[in-house]
Amino acid sequence: MEAQNLSFGLSSTLPTSPIQNQKNPFFQILLKPSSSSNNLTLKGVFLKPHVSFSPKSFPSKEFFQCRNCLQRTEREATTVPDSGVNKELRKKKLAVFVSGGGSNFRSIYEATLEGTVHGEVAVLVTNKNDCGGAKYAREQGIPVILFPKAKNSSEGLSEEDLVGSLRAYNIDFILLAGYLKLIPTELVQAFPRSIFNIHPSLLPSFGGKGYYGIKVHKAVIASGARYSGPTIHYVDEHYDTGRILAQGVVPVLANDTAETLAARVLQEEHKLYVEVAAALCEERIVWREDGVPLIRSKEDPNHYK
């Protein structure tokens, strides 16, 4: 039996879900085992011709992820509960970095408990051991790591030790949620395209060193801008310069103060970060050919944000 209309190296009779990636394009194949011995073999990937199945019927180990159409990998997976995602996914492990009260951290953590985000907060990292976010993490039984080392103190981890600790927790994504320290190059290189930050303005405006907290909102109001809102972006070696992944927009009202604008933006932050965390854990990030990351809609796979 011959495969028909090969696309991406696979028969069109097999369900595939192409995901564009600028540096490492890959697509995913989900196959249901068959007793038939009439198999097609393509570079180590076994193809069952004219297979008909329901996506929800996959066993937990029949998940194949083919990178560059050459490699086959197998991994443990669990079904995403009530998410509408038509494939099986391993629950992702998250590390959240905070410097203050950690309201975005709390929103993300609560979303993991509710099942909105198919992941778990495995560890919290902070530069302030007694901040509100760290206290809340301890109350929830989440391990807390101090980074960087405090001056004149033996407490805290070095860059190398931090990378090792996060790898020991099998971290998939790092989410900065009000973390005010510059992320070291060692960490950026150890977790490529896996570190994200939320900034309280519509980048690239009102971003960079010195723009944080209430200072951002004062600058927005002073500029006369009519709109503001949070930006979630990939983290590189500089402040607020990584690729933008998502933004939320709120109006700047005529009688706004920096405090009232900050409160409005913060509410949008909580919503936006949970949406992005859910997309990350459901593997819905798609890279456009020009290197711009997009989020594939869960409701409509042909729509991107």
Cα distances (Å, whole numbers) of residue 95 to 135, 141, 180, 183, 230:
16, 14, 16, 14, 20
Query: Which positions ≥6 away from 90 have C-beta within 8 Å?
Result: 75, 76, 77, 78
Beta bridge partners of 105: none
The CA-based angle 19-231-112, given to 5 degrees, is 65
Tell me how far apart the alpha carbons of residues 270 and 232 are, in angstroms, rounded to a whole number: 11
Cα–Cα distances in angstroms (integers) from residue 82 to residues 284, 298, 303, in the given order: 16, 12, 20
What span, in angstroms and rounded, lies between the C-alpha atoms of 240 and 62? 40
Burial 13-42 (b: 16+ CB within 10 A, else e): ebbbeebebeeeebbbbbbeeeeeeeeeee
Paired with 296 in beta bridges are: 304
Residue with tokens 């028909």: 4
- Residues with catalytic function: 199
Question: What distances in angstroms separate CA 167 from CA 17, 92, 94, 261, one per listed residue?
Answer: 29, 13, 11, 38
Residues 168, 29: Cα–Cα separation, whole Å:
29
